[in-house]
Amino acid sequence: MTHLGTKQLETERLILRRFTLEDTEPMFRNWASDPEVTKFLTWPTHADTSVSQKVLEQWVKDYESPADYQWAVTLKSNGDEPIGSIAAVHVDEDTQTVEIGYCIGKTWWHQGVVSEALRAVMDFFFDEVGANRVQACHDVKNPHSGMVMKKCGMQYEGTLRQFKCNNQGLADISYYAMLAADHKKI
């Protein structure tokens, strides 16, 4: 893979861009402080903006690596304010696999925002970085996340029982993926 770092990506409705420290308050307000949003995630709900700031400080520092991919999801119609995030949560050089994770404020649920962002990120990893496989997973108790993956053309590959821990405890996790060969066909 040829790592390019977190490049700005644009879709019909979205701009996916790098986070800045100025995003602390919107991050906290729009998604990180909401226990309903973080219910199935592996990181705890942020208690106050200082937690969001520390996270963003680390993410901004991580941008120094061309193999780091962490985007703020912004709506063109909403100015530059982030409403969620999408990232490569794991990159495996040996198999040329990128695993994607995403999170969005509940105000924007069920509007196709995450599907649009995931499609753009998948295209970027296949077309520009040269990934062979892009995958994502979700807690089986959060089927809407799996619907996003299916909508983007990923294939269901299986469920691993009691495979990961999240804010609900030990969880069964369903995996979806697309291969570069499949991506070329669409």
CATH number (domain holding residue 20): 3.40.630.30
For the question of whether the overall pTM of this predicted structure is more than 0.75, the answer is yes
- Residue 163: phi and psi, rounded to 5, are -95, -30
Structural domain contains residue 186: no
> pLDDT tens across 11-26, in order?
999 999 999 999 999 9
Structural domain contains residue 149: no
Structural domain contains residue 159: no
Structural domain contains residue 174: no
Structural domain contains residue 59: yes
The total number of structural domains that make up the chain:
1
Going from the C-alpha of 29 to that of each of 18, 26, 54, 135, the distances in angstroms are: 18, 5, 15, 29
Q: What is the DSSP letter of 106?
A: G
Tokens of 75: 């709506």
Structural domain contains residue 179: no
> pLDDT tens across 69-81, in order?
999 999 999 889 9
Per-residue confidence (pLDDT) for residue 35, from 0 to 100 = 97
Element (H, E) at 134: strand 133-139
> pLDDT tens across 66-121, in order?
999 999 999 999 889 999 999 999 999 999 999 999 999 999 999 999 999 999 99
Q: Which range marks the domain in which residue 81 is found?
A: 9-137
Structural domain contains residue 28: yes
Tokens of 19: 């986070």
| Nearest of 167, 166, 88, 175 to residue 138 by alpha carbon | 175
Structural domain contains residue 147: no
Which residues, 6 or more positions from 151, have their beta carbon under 8 angstroms from its beta carbon? 115
